[in-house]
A and B are shown apart, each in its own frame.
Chain A
Amino acid sequence: MSEESPTLRVDFLLDTEYQYAVGQYGTRFFTELRDHARFVGVQCLECGRVYVPPRPVCGICYRELQEWVEVGPGGTIVGWTVVRIPFIDPMTGEQRPVPYGFAIVRLDGASTSLYHFLDETDERKIRVGQRVCAVFREKREGSLRDVLHFRLLEE
């Protein structure tokens, strides 16, 4: 016990593993990403929005989505940061190496944005509106990790 206390404490360590279903729309997205290194979204034929991540229903129009369109691999930074605080990565249970670049990227042709890594950790070199391009891994497994990161493009 690191601090003085008049009452006792007990320790408990929880080591758990989860398995999440990607779903039908997500599976199509990740299959395209794995087999062809390309991004796809679904378009709402009522409002015209192109959703990435793809999903079965447009939440705004309550309309079923079936129109698949290719988006990216280029995109634009909507928001960004460089994470410097150490924390436990819930994907691995290990401490995440810091610093790392983190951005919200709107892929070309999409109406919504993805969270992903940036290849830059110098805050002075990143800005909102900057152009980026996805860098795909050589060996792909069918998850968002098939994108290594987004690379800043020269202006």
Chain B
Amino acid sequence: MPRRVAIIATGQTKHTARRLDVNIRELITEAVTRALQDADLTMRDIDAVLLGNMEPFEGFLFPELWAVEGWGGYMKPSVKFNTGGTVGTTTAIAAYYYVASGIYDVVMAVGFEKQSEGHTQTAITTVGDPIWERSVMAGAIGNFAVMATTYMHESGVTEEQAAKAAVKARRNACLNEYAHLQMPDITVEDVLRSEVLAYPVKRLDMCPQSDGAVAVIFAEESKAQRLAPRPAWIRAVATAHEQQYMGDSPKRLAEMRSLIAASRRAYQAAGITNPRKELDVAEIYEVASFAELAMYENLGFCDRGEGGKLIDMGVTELTGELPVNPSGGVMSTNPIGATALIRVAEAALQIMGKAGRRQVEGARMALATGYGGNAWTDVMILSQEKP
């Protein structure tokens, strides 16, 4: 049987477009130091450190080596993860396994990206198969746009409804001191009038590119109870992978097979039958406005084709029945190697009651996801009750 595992502490940098004042080591150190302070621990108390980063974005291989003093890995057991949009959740799920296995008691997961130093869109285009896909893809934006038109066709969702998700993200971000894009006055009109990048995706429908780092500390049951007044217990983790080519998934965003598979497996493990009622908050890897609405449907928050209606009804607003991304989400903050781990950190903050002005009152069950370009998905469910 796996041991019980909880998140006991988190640390984040103030995410922003360009952290010119620090190098990568110094950026990571900020997040790691804050997580250690949050748990009142030192690096000596950490049994293993797991690192997440997308090296092609900075063009800097082996961050586990040259940034070792930044993330505290010297002579400690460690592994680096490099799984695209899911880097952070892969790192978090691995940290869970490390502790649940009984081999390590306290494990720190660290994620970072300093996108200002490289060419993110060009690097993302190399995600596409060089023989079959790369010649037409236009980074993440073109790839999202072709999926969004399929989703609009299948669900009838409108550009206005998608824009509402973009507005919610940037307004929620104003309540999060770590968020990158904070836009208190943004309107649906602003999103609709922003530059068209690739129909139907406009500039304000997309996530930004950010510099940032995050660290999350996982502990076994007795240490978790001793070190944290209200630990965030891990109830379920799940990962699912699609077939290999972008065109293999028949309906793309409209039917996200890996998100459906991973979320249903996690719901079952956590005993959730009605996610909209039983989850109190969700931190999802939404990347673009259209994707957020599609994810509502694929996560089972509503029926097929009802994603637009859910945002119209305000269900996912901070004050709604199931707040989605009170942190501002990926549309506000996207240091890719850290982004999915930020989802986990934010879900944990909600359960621990430490989410400040973005706190969802009485949050007892939280969902976090990571998303790898429609091809693979990670899901983690956290709760206030012990599993």
Contacts and interface: CB of A to CB of B under 8 A. Distances in A.
Interface string A5-26: 1110100101000101010001
Contacts of A115: 128, 132-133, 136-137, 146, 246-247
A81 B135 CA distance: 15
Contacts of B139: 85, 87
Interface in A60-81: 60, 78-81
A117 B133 CA distance: 11
A40 to B, nearest CB: 14
Contact of A82 (B20, B133, B198, B246): B198
Contacts of A155: none
Contacts of A83: 138, 141-142, 145, 197-198
A77 B134 CA distance: 19
A116 B132 CA distance: 9
B134 A114 contact: no
Contact of B130 (A3, A18, A145): A18
B85 to A, nearest CB: 19
B136 to A, nearest CB: 5
Contact of A104 (B126, B134, B150): B150
A90 B132 contact: no
Which of B122, B136, B198, B245 has the most chain A CB within a 10 Å cutoff?
Answer: B136
The secondary-structure label for the interface of chain B is loop
B22 to A, nearest CB: 7
The secondary-structure label for the interface of chain A is loop
A88 B122 contact: yes
Given A3-B18, A12-B59, A18-B130, A91 B146 contact: no
Interface residues on B, range: 35 or more
A80 B247 CA distance: 12
A14 B48 CA distance: 34
A112 B247 contact: yes
Interface string A43-65: 00000000111010001100000
B107 interface: no
B247 A113 contact: yes
B15 to A, nearest CB: 17
Nearest to A5: B20
Given A78-B150, A85-B197, A104-B146, A91 B135 contact: yes
B21 interface: yes
Contact of A117 (B23, B136, B149): B136
A81 B130 contact: no
A129 B153 CA distance: 9
B166 interface: no
Contact of B126 (A60, A90, A128, A129): A90
Interface in A124-154: 127-129, 143-145
A9 B116 CA distance: 11
Nearest to A93: B122
A79 B119 CA distance: 26
Contacts of B313: none
